Amino acid sequence: MLNIIVAFLSLLIAIPAYAIDGAALLKQVDRNLSPESYESYRKLINVEPDGKKKEFTLFTVKKGIDKVASLFIAPASEKGRSTLRLGDNMWLYIPNVGKPVRITSLQSVVGGVFNNADILQLDYTTEYNVEKAEDTGGEYLLSLKAKTKTVAYDRLKIWADKKNVLPTKIECLTEANMLIKTLYFKDVKSFGGGITRPAVIETDSPLYRGYKSVMIFAGIKQKTFKDEVFTLTFMPNLESLR
């Protein structure tokens, strides 16, 4: 009997554990968060340690893996401003100032904890490779490494629920694994058209203690756009897409 048990245990050890396809899982996370090309309305709220808030409303369009543009709808002081991202390159257009000016991924056109890379976010698969994919029991955990040095965060850790394969939490880290900020994904809801995703993203950072920023999606739907929409010359005309 002992020999049988030993043989059985040896067989179990010899059977390889089920390997998670991290790259495929990350692509699924991207598509579950949003269509490859879409339009959305969202509100950004910055909360200061004393409770003071500042709110912005943005209309955003995205095409493919590397084209994103946003238009400020509110407040009145920001209305008409627009931003454009083409791959690693970003610009800000301010009415009556002239030509668009360059901005960087680590800056923020709204202040607060969200930076420009968060606001004009590309698919995670565009900027990151999966180094490790784990099944923690209740969730998946993906450890990502940036493909280039131009990406805002060197590393990401994404916790995704198994039911919807949507992020519940993302830690943004430096090369040395120092925590820069944490994103919390909340209030999963249906937006129609087969899109079910978190309506709220909150973020805080040990670098900005007491500060918090919140992103609330009011609407998101699949839509296609011409390439000319994502050009410097079209930035003053984003309002025409609404």
CATH number, position 225: 2.50.20.10
42 in a structural domain: yes
11 in a structural domain: no
Q: What is the pairing mode between strands 179-192 and 167-173?
A: antiparallel
Contact call for residues 184 and 169 (beta carbons, < 8 A): yes
Local confidence band at 12 (pLDDT 50, 70, 90 cut-offs): very low
Cβ partners under 8 Å of residue 121, min gap 6: 68
72 in a structural domain: yes
Place of tokens 């899109």: 195
CA distance 146 to 153: 7
pLDDT at 10 over 70: no
Contact call for residues 85 and 236 (beta carbons, < 8 A): no
Percent of the chain with pLDDT over 70: 93
119 in a structural domain: yes
Domain holding 201, by residue range, is: 21-241
Query: What value does the mean pLDDT take over residues 130-147?
Result: 94
Between residues 20 and 123, the one the model is more confident about: 123
Q: 65 vs 29, 107, 138, 148, 156, CA distance in Å?
A: 14, 21, 30, 16, 18
16 in a structural domain: no
β-sheet bridge partners, residue 185: 201
235 in a structural domain: yes
Closest CA to 237 of 223, 225, 222, 219: 225
Q: What is the pLDDT of residue 203?
A: 96
2 in a structural domain: no
pTM for this model (two decimals): 0.88
Q: What is the pLDDT of residue 2?
A: 56
Please give the tally of structural domains in the chain. Answer: 1
CA distance 76 to 80: 9
Closest CA to 238 of 89, 107, 62, 111: 62
H or E element at residue 167: strand 167-173
56 in a structural domain: yes
Q: What is the pLDDT of residue 1?
A: 60
